[in-house]
Structure 1
Amino acid sequence: MEYAIIAAGQGSRLAGEGIETSKPLLRLNGTAMLDRLISIFLANRAESISIIINEEMTDVHEHVKQLKLPVPLHVLIKSTPDSLHSFHELASLIPNRTKLCLTTIDPIFSPLEFSAYIRAFEADNEHDALMAVTDYIDDEKPLYVKTDDDLKVLDFVDTAYEGCRYVSGGVYCFNNKVLNLLQEAVDEGVSRMRNFQRKIVYSGLKVQAHPFSKIIDVDHASDIQKAELFLNEMK
């Protein structure tokens, strides 16, 4: 399995709340969020790890230079206008486009649940995308995921609706059919990952939801304590 991390955001909300550390290096219970993700990926048979970092986060550039991993590490330093364009740039680094797990830098989840998620996609020859979802909703602008009773993804919507249960967790597994849509999406002027997720569904590809009990996004200073408490609960 190939892994990739979008770490190209500005972290402006955290900075505005007095957090000076770049988000990828923000420590939760002593471990940088970037290092935590990399450790989890390595524990789940990573063949390579690719990361995009914006040009302004020089502290992250230096941190990544010091990493010594047992698998190839591909790093792209480039500022992009949004998360989809970050993914588009990042995709060029991925050596094997058969199956990929992509995350943003800030989702905090159970490593055991993540391993089950990866095993499910590795064994899945039917679906083109397996989306991590959760019914724990604690985001200011969540992306709601419409599914049928069998967890087939029908749509992604920005506002809550009657009977809505799941939101997107910022963790995605894709096959090469999804990756091949990237250039088309960029050429059409699509921006942001949430709009690309809609395009995957509207293109007729097979998209399935995979529930996690909880995924916390670290966007605000108050999220740091929530994330650390969650991590402590899993020990």
Structure 2
Amino acid sequence: MEDAPLIQFGRAERSSPQTMHNDALVITAILANYEVGRIFIDSGSSADILFGEAYDQMQLGDVSLEKVDTSLYGFAGEVVHPRGMVSLPLTMGKGTARKTCLLKFLVVDVPSAYNVILGRPTLNTFQAVISTYHMKIKFPTQGGIGEVQGDPFQSRRCYVDAVRRGEKRGGDDTQDKAPPNKKGKAPEEKIPEATEIPAKVQPAEELLNIQIIPGDLDKITRLALT
């Protein structure tokens, strides 16, 4: 068995070497031939989540869905019933250093600032290593080390949208997410400045801790509720 190629991150790889940040790692990737933005990389999630709104915009149809009998349970007894599970190809990287893997996503009808959450199943399948400091994800491919640079502007926009969703809970949400585009890029969005991001200590949205398997505390992911 060959040794895995060395994956490392250098100081020069930071997009803004002089600026410290605590942004979430949010990327754009190709999911089922759609360019999908607002993909949150969450190593704390034990499941890959495709939110229902994004799934509907991709127009894949319910025919692609597999029935999921097990509900998702929160610590306080909250229950989320997934619409189903769908197997979709995800492509990351560029040129010869790109990689495509078939992944299983739980389709969940819970409002979120994100389109997709990629958790440990994706990271392990891609043999990926992430660095939030460098805002980058790297993984081995047959053509070398593939990588995807995180988008700090998307990350901040998602945070702002999440805050606004929390503040407008129970009202109309006027901040629409850019839908996934087939054979094209997402529409240009106004880039939020750092001063636009409200400084809040509490979570922007109510977080629902989900046990993928009831009673197994190691298999937990978190979903934001509005």
TM-score, scaled relative to structure 1: 0.26
* Structure in which a larger fraction of residues adopt strand: 2
TM-score, scaled relative to structure 2: 0.27
Larger Rg: 2
